[in-house]
């Protein structure tokens, strides 16, 4: 395959760092753009000896100019505690970031892939979620900065495509976990593993009957690269996730067992607008990307636990 110059925004984050590594391993040149809001140089420090890897400190909500062949737009905090920390900046990152990356893709006539999210479905009334479902999102709640920011970014992607023929790809990522998650990230898998390894109380929000579908990061990265390489006529949006559905109670018990932890489970209030259930329908990804996730939750958790054992 021909060597490409690829821009990854949010490349020092959890998912971005895995994507940068994969793209470098395929022989590409990678420019990783990040403002280190939730990401960290430590996620990519092992790539820095590679002369085809460059790091750029920049906020994607401001214009950025460079000559590249493809863009993966991942810059945006993904954990509720972090995206709610500065809600206005979260909207700017999603919306201005999308405009800036789409403008760049338009000028260069290149493909740009948007890391959208299952949060565009909000607290879904359709289960499992299909791409044609428009969602059930509160526009004025504490999750709205993220949900509506990502929805507006999808709108911008589609409008740049319709109006300016920009080559776009939209993937809707469902809950993803794996090594390089920040131990203070606040998302459920990292929280439970860190708590279990420290023999601290495992904090379930609500009664633990809400569900999520967890995808291991390697499966996601495979789908991202496949999506980028689809024919220009396929824009998505396409769901990328693992349809295995688990309650938070099941997840907590599984992690306590896998870590051999002495932790107790405790129950804390459910955050506002917390979706009750989530599970992707991945028929479109199967058809268009010839992809489906391979890593079972238990196997992915074992690898993630090994990672956290080393860093905490």
Q: What is the x/- site pattern for ligand NAD, positions 12-51, by CB under 6 A? A: xxxxx-----------------xxxxxx------------
> CA dist 169 to 70, 148, 161, 273, 303, Å?
11, 19, 10, 28, 30
Q: Do the beta carbons of residue 48 and residue 54 sit within 8 Å?
A: no
Does 239 interact with ligand NAD (rule: CB under 6 A)? no
The SS3 assignment for 269 reads coil
Q: Among residues 14, 129, 23, 118, which one has the least CA distance to residue 76? A: 14
Question: How far is 100 from 107, CA to CA, in rounded Å?
Answer: 11
Provide the H-helix boundaries in the chain: 14-25, 80-85, 87-108, 144-164, 188-197, 217-228, 248-259, 283-289, 297-311
274 binds, among ligand UDP, ligand NAD, none (CB under 5 to 8 A by kind): ligand UDP
Question: How far is 78 from 189, CA to CA, in rounded Å?
Answer: 13
Does 200 interact with ligand UDP (rule: CB under 6 A)? no
Least distance in angstroms from the C-beta of 186 to ligand NAD: 10
Select the residue interacting with ligand UDP from 54, 274, 283, 292 (CB under 6 A).
Answer: 274
Least distance in angstroms from the C-beta of 265 to ligand NAD: 22
Q: How many residues bind ligand UDP (CB under 6 A)?
A: 15
Least distance in angstroms from the C-beta of 63 to ligand NAD: 12
Which window, 11-19, 135-143, 203-211, 224-232, contacts ligand NAD (CB under 6 A)?
A: 11-19
- Residue 7 or residue 13: which is nearer to ligand UDP going by CB? 13
187 contact partners, CB below 8 Å, separation of at least 6? 78, 79, 80, 175, 177, 181
Select the residue interacting with ligand NAD from 8, 30, 68, 76 (CB under 6 A).
Answer: 76
Q: Among residues 82, 102, 84, which one has the least CA distance to residue 35? A: 82
Select the residue interacting with ligand NAD from 6, 20, 55, 74 (CB under 6 A).
Answer: 74
- Residue 24 or residue 295: which is nearer to ligand UDP going by CB? 295
Question: How far is 24 from 31, CA to CA, in rounded Å?
Answer: 10
- Please confirm, yes or no, whether 83 is among the known catalytic residues: no
Active-site option among 72, 83, 121, 146: 146
Q: Do the beta carbons of residue 161 and residue 168 sit within 8 Å?
A: yes
Q: What is the x/- site pattern for ligand UDP, positions 136-175, by CB under 6 A? A: ---------------------------------------x
- Residue 77 or residue 208: which is nearer to ligand NAD going by CB? 77
Least distance in angstroms from the C-beta of 115 to ligand NAD: 4
Q: Do the beta carbons of residue 120 and residue 94 sit within 8 Å?
A: no
Question: How far is 69 from 6, CA to CA, in rounded Å?
Answer: 6
Least distance in angstroms from the C-beta of 247 to ligand UDP: 9
268 burial via Cβ count (<10 Å: 0-12, 13-18, 19+)? exposed
Residues in touch with ligand UDP (CB under 6 A): 79-80, 175, 187-188, 191, 203-205, 210, 212, 248, 270-271, 274
Which of the residues are catalytic? 146
Residues forming the site for ligand NAD (CB under 6 A):
9-10, 12-16, 34-39, 59-61, 74-78, 93, 115, 117, 173, 175-176
């Amino acid at each position: 395959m021909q060597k490409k110059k690829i821009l990854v925004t949010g490349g020092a984050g959890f998912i971005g760092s895995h994507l940068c590594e994969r793209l470098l391993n395929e022989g590409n040149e990678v420019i990783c753009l990040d403002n280190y809001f939730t990401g960290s140089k430590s996620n990519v420090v092992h790539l820095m000896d590679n002369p085809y890897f460059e790091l750029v400190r920049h906020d994607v909500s401001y214009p950025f100019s460079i000559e590249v062949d493809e863009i993966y737009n991942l810059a945006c905090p993904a954990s509720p505690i972090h995206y709610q920390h500065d809600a206005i900046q979260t909207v700017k990152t999603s919306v201005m970031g999308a405009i800036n990356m789409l403008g760049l893709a338009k000028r260069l006539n290149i493909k740009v892939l948007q890391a959208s999210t299952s949060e565009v479905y909000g607290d879904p009334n359709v289960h499992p979620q299909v791409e044609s479902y428009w969602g059930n999102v509160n526009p004025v709640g504490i999750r709205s900065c993220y949900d509506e920011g990502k929805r507006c970014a999808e709108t911008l992607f589609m409008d740049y495509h319709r109006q300016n023929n920009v080559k776009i790809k939209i993937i809707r990522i469902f809950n993803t976990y794996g090594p390089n998650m920040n131990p203070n990230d606040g998302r459920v898998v990292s929280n439970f593993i860190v708590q279990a390894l420290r023999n601290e109380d495992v904090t379930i929000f609500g009664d633990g009957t809400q569900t999520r579908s967890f995808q291991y990061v390697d499966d996601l990265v495979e789908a991202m690269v496949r999506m980028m390489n689809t024919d220009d006529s396929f824009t998505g949006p396409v769901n990328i996730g693992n349809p295995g559905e688990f309650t938070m109670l099941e997840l907590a018990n599984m992690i306590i067992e896998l870590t051999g932890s002495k932790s107790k489970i405790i129950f804390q209030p459910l955050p506002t607008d917390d979706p009750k259930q989530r599970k992707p329908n991945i028929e479109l990804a199967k058809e268009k990307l010839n992809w489906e996730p391979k890593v079972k939750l238990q196997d992915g958790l074992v690898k993630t636990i090994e990672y956290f054992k080393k860093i905490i």
